[in-house]
Structure 1
Amino acid sequence: MKLDDIDLRIVRALQMDGRMPVQELADKVGLSASPCARRVRNLEKAGIIKGYAAVIDPAKVGLPISVFASVKLERQREEELDRFAQAISRWPEVVDCFLMTGQRDYLMRIVVSDLEAYERFLKEKLTRLDGVASIESSFALGEVKRSHALPVK
């Protein structure tokens, strides 16, 4: 789907407020409500808008610790990569995971309540995965910037 200027304005507006009523969104992008709603549905069907979610403050729900874990696998064959991806997809503590280039194979962000919870996560889950050669953990001291909005032009 090729995005025109109005589609991009819709995307930018919904990134700032996904609960915006259609009429308000239509006013912001210069359309009437029906064509605006139709464009939103088209963006959803095309997978450009993947869903809507509330942005939660992790500390206020008892998850103040963010850990960035770099994982190196013993081998980088497709089966091993798939097995790792399937395993971590079941773990709610892993909120982000990226397959990487360079020295490490995966970079994950893990949220936990405290250091003991991270230790349990390591011992009971991550270190028990077959094929994991090494794990390097870094603890976030503070959040400088976090955005869910993409810099759509």
Structure 2
Amino acid sequence: MDRIDRMILHELEQDGRLTNADLAAKVGLTPTPCLRRVRNLERIGVIRGYRADLDGSFLDSGFQPFATVALKQGDWHLMTEFEAKVAALPQVLEAHRLFGDPDYLLRIAVADITAYERFYAETLCRLPGVAQVTTHLTMKVVKGNRGLLAGHE
């Protein structure tokens, strides 16, 4: 990847709805070579897809706590079973296996604190191998996800 590919990626991270003509103008190319570069970045997997950045408060998903999960000492089967169950839960937006303690960090989206309490008690704490769940509430988003190349212009 060269400097122009990185410029293309940066622009698409900021606005995935840019037309090819607008994108080409922003990165200093004509439309045909720009489109060729974008298609190549898609083909090799650098660009994995395009999607809208949604406001969860309009979709009964505005309450988004983080939860850390510690598993009971167990075997590989228990961990893979836990991961499969978590991956299938629509309320879990992200799930990361961590080094050390705790074992997992989850980002969850539900309507409100009452919905989270229900999800916590009826689902999260009942997942295979769970020893402890700790909830972390965001006080303020200091820096949100602006993309991998934001600030690298």
Deviations 1:113-147 (A, max 9, x none): 11111111112211221211111111222322212
Q: Which residue of 2 aligns with 1:47?
A: 45
The CA distance in 2 between the partners of 1:133 and 1:35, in whole Å, is: 54
Q: Counterparts of 1:84-99 in structure 2 under 5 Å? A: 84-99=82-97
Matched-pair contact (CA < 8 Å) for 1:72–1:104: yes
User: Which stretch of structure 1 is more off in the superposition, 10-19 or 86-95?
Assistant: 86-95
Unaligned runs of 5+ in 1: none
Measured against aligned partners, the alpha-carbon deviations of 1:17-54 in whole angstroms (never above 9, x if no partner) come to: 00000011111111111111111111111111111111
Equivalences for 1:133-144 in 2 at 5 Å?
133-144=131-142
State the Cα distance separating 1:89 from its structure 2 match: 1.1
C-alpha distance in structure 2 between counterparts of 1:62 and 1:127, whole Å: 22
Q: What is residue 120 of structure 1 aligned with on the other side?
A: 118
1:14 to 12, 15, 21: 12
Partner amino acid for 2:93?
V
Summarize the alignment of residues 25-36 of structure 1 with structure 2, pairs less than 5 Å apart: 25-36=23-34
Q: Distance in 2 between matches of 1:76 and 1:58?
A: 35
How big is the shift at 1:97?
Answer: 1.2
- Give the direction of change, closer, same or farther, for the CA distance of 1:98–1:76 in structure 2 (3 Å limit): farther
Q: TM-score normalized by structure 2?
A: 0.90
Give the unaligned 5+ runs of structure 2.
none
| TM-score using structure 1 length | 0.90
Task: Name the residue aligned to 2:63.
Answer: 65
Shift >4 Å, 4+ stretches: none
**Equivalent AA in structure 1 for residue 129 of structure 2:** G
Aligned length, in residue pairs:
151
Mapped contact 1:65–1:140 kept (Cα < 8 A): no
Residue identity in the other structure for 1:124: E
